[in-house]
Amino acid sequence: MGERPIPQSARLYKHEELEPPMNRIIASLAASTMLLSAGSAMAANHVVTAGDDAQERLQEALIVAEPGDEVILEDGVFVLTDGLSLDVDNVTVRGAGPDKTVLSFKEQQGAGEGLLVTSDNVVLRDFAVEDTRGDGIKSKGADQIVYYNIRVEWTGGPKETNGAYGVYPVESENVLVDSVTVIGASDAGIYVGQSRNIIVRNSVARFNVAGIEIENSFNADVYGNSAIRNTGGILVFDLPNLPQQGGHNVRLFDNIIAENDTPNFAPAGNIVASVPMGTGVMVMANHDVEIFDNVFNDNASSNIMIIGYRRAYEDVNYNPMVRNVRISDNAHGKAGYDPQFDGGAMLAQAFGGTLPPIVWDGVGGEAAGMASSDNVPVLSLGLETSDQPVEQAQPGLASLSGDATPVLPVIVLPEAMEAAIR
Amino acid sequence: MVRFRLLLSLLCAALLLGANPPSPGVHDDLIGGDTLPQSLSEYGFFLDRAATQPAPGVVPYRLNSPLFSDYAEKFRFAYVPQGKTVATDADGRLLFPVGSALIKSFGYRYEDQGMRLLETRVLLHRESGWVALPYVWNEDRSDAVLRRAGKRMDVNIVQPDGQAVAFSYAVPNQNQCKGCHALKGEITPIGPKLRNLDDGERLADWQQRGWFGDTVDAHEVMPDYADISEPVDYRARAYLDVNCGHCHNRAGPASNSGLYLTWEEADPVALGLYKRPVAAGRGSGGFEFAIEPGHPERSILINRMESTDPGVAMPELGRALVHGEGVDLIREWIAAMPGKAEAK
């Protein structure tokens, strides 16, 4: 898609250059021409410039776009007053670059996010979204969604009043997040929820509560990312009472997960509000998670924390326990020197002032299938159940001597998705 | 017959080109066609320019419990093509035949100028599915014009509680229509369900018009949530159904939340009782549960109903003002729920 030449017949028009009636006539002439010569090669470009009435002009372009079309956002700051939405399949929204095309939502008066995508085979690339009141970019039930070279930022830095998620694909099959930067989300910078077949790579998450979060999702590869100076770097979570649960088959590799030292600024009630500052990776209530070839450094609570779901819930279909985590070949810098979770300081004292870089709640014992071949000690809290109070912990060093070799299959996305960003 | 219809539509086209006033009566070809009529008057739904007198076959109706839309008065009309019938599904949802249209106008009544319509939303049932189109009224009230990208308007009103407010009224864009009107990703009407239409007379009237078959399916009746003679539980569930249930259901735009607020929802956790938020962000207001029984002041539901801040406010679309009466009702309902001591 990305390399497709722009056909000669493409109707390149700028809305503001034409009076509305003339604009309409030309658009409908173009439309009838398109009908007469029908064919997928007739894709059109809808060029939108920043300036007056950016809201209506940009939203209109997102509505009139037809499958195969591109909506081109020119260089400039688009001042938007409402959420934008796209509901047409097979459309590319392309800016001039994440530092050149900026969609600013400082003046936003409505909607739960900056941009909402509800159609399939959409490519979002080369623009920035700033200061949304709620989430940055959400895609729901949008299969084969591509986020590429996007920046989502709350420009005032980490604040509780920032929106929850930066990029937020949910209930989708085939998700690609590549070369995305998210700064300042009050929940997770890059959040993938209730989805299947996911790649998050080459991306940067800074000053969010959670840098990257894979939640209630199946089959995800998270690699080549930097999760730096968040509260927690990368989270793999599963929550009860949701349409899709039982998160599993997640691989975290080749990531840099360091200096996650931003105090937790998530509004209470949200699950990430319970993530201790200084957490590198946190795995909760998932099974079959592989953590390998990552570089961890300077995470004050722990580099890798593996725990069950600790809150009360009513859901007979939910398993709060973590099973089958395989940890190998990670580099561990300093960690556990100032643990920010309940009882952490006392625990650290018992271990000579510093906790081991890998902490596991110990639930399930050997049957939980934990394996680590990393050359660092592992602390087990020795809990019997996921929701047992930490005060009742029976902490001790654990030997996770099972086979830690990664065995999960590589995630492969439809070729068109990869082609779209080449 | 086909030839006759062709002739008729040619005639209509000729009339339109000649810029003559549209011929009286509903233009079935525009409802079922694939064009996007630029003005409301083209359809012929109304006999007058002000859209108060419905054309023959265009039937005004009310809902027992309506959605709150910033205190706007709403005027609803249904049109079913001659000879066609309306089916119902297992949930009592009306399945209008292709060629049907639902029309809803929004406006405010002012002492000096009477009813001032702001917008008219049209749902057209075409072969390809439902199409939702927003029309915005001209200043001179002569017609409403298609605004697919929506529009914001400054509006001053006096609320029922006597308070004067100025706010930005938002006409939804075409996609936002689907933001509420989506079921399994397809546009669908959300208001017309047997339980919300049955006022004791209407269904019989529609049956007489031939819209229903010999019998109307058995159904519950949802009360008017403002009717204080009804039990609070009923009223609250009716309120949540019409204000939240169109998104918060298992096939709706908020399916991922796990919070389902429809009339028929039977699972207490899905209904929000002791249900923790998933993606609420600052919408949580620092509270733990969507509904904490006995404690409206600690329930996220109330927090989001009481907010007008985008990113917190629910519903996400179509509300700039707080519906005080609605908040009071839900507050009363939650306060009366027995809490469990060990929760938290």
Helix, strand or coil, per DSSP, at residue B34: coil
* Chain B residues inside the 8 Å CB shell of A187: 279, 281
Over residues B186-230, the pLDDT tens digits come to 788 888 899 999 998 999 999 999 998 888 888 999 999 999 999
- How close is the nearest chain B Cα to the Cα of A344, in Å? 23
B31: closest CA among B107, B75, B97, B89? Answer: B97
Mean pLDDT of B155-173: 93
Beta-carbon contacts of B32 under 8 Å, excluding residues fewer than 6 positions away, are B98, B99, B124, B126, B127
pLDDT value at B253 more than 60: yes
* pLDDT (0 to 100) of residue A39: 39
Tokens at residue A155, please? 């420009």
Q: How far is A77 from chain B (nearest CA, A)?
A: 20
Residue B301 has a pLDDT of 97
pLDDT tens string A29-84: 444 334 333 334 578 999 999 999 999 999 999 999 999 999 999 999 999 999 99
CB contact under 8 A, A133 and B286: no
Mean pLDDT in residue range B277-305: 93
CB neighbour list of residue A286: distance below 8 Å, 6 or more residues apart? A236, A237, A238, A247, A248, A250, A322
Q: Answer yes or no: do A267 and B174 touch at CB < 8 A.
A: no
Please count the other Cβ atoms lying within 10 Å of the Cβ belonging to residue B4: 8
| A379: β partners | A359, A397
| pTM higher than 0.80 | yes
Task: Indicate yes or no: CB of A164 within 8 angstroms of CB of B152.
Answer: no
* Crossing angle of the two packed helices B174-181 and A54-64, in degrees rounded to 10: 70
Other beta carbons within 10 Å of B213: 12
Residues of chain B in contact with residue A20, where contact means CB-CB under 8 angstroms, are none
d(CA A301, CA A337) in angstroms, rounded, equals 7
Can you list the residues of chain A whose pLDDT is less than 50? Answer: 1-40
* B206 and B215 Cβ atoms separated by less than 8 Å: no
User: Looking at the partner chain, which of A116, A171, A268 has a beta carbon nearest the beta carbon of B256?
Assistant: A171
The closest alpha carbon to A281, from A331, A221, A345, A212, belongs to A212
The residue that leads in pLDDT, B4 or B335, is: B335
**Res B282 pLDDT > 50:** yes
| Residues A376/A323, Cβ–Cβ less than 8 Å | no
Check whether B7 has a pLDDT greater than 60. no
Candidates A52, A171, A191, A270, partner chain B, best to mutate (most B CBs within 10 A): A270
B77-90 residue pLDDT tens: 999 999 999 999 88
- Closest alpha carbon within chain A to B287: A269
Compute the distance between CA of residue A262 and CA of residue A162 in angstroms, rounded to an integer: 14
DSSP bridge partners of A214: A192, A236
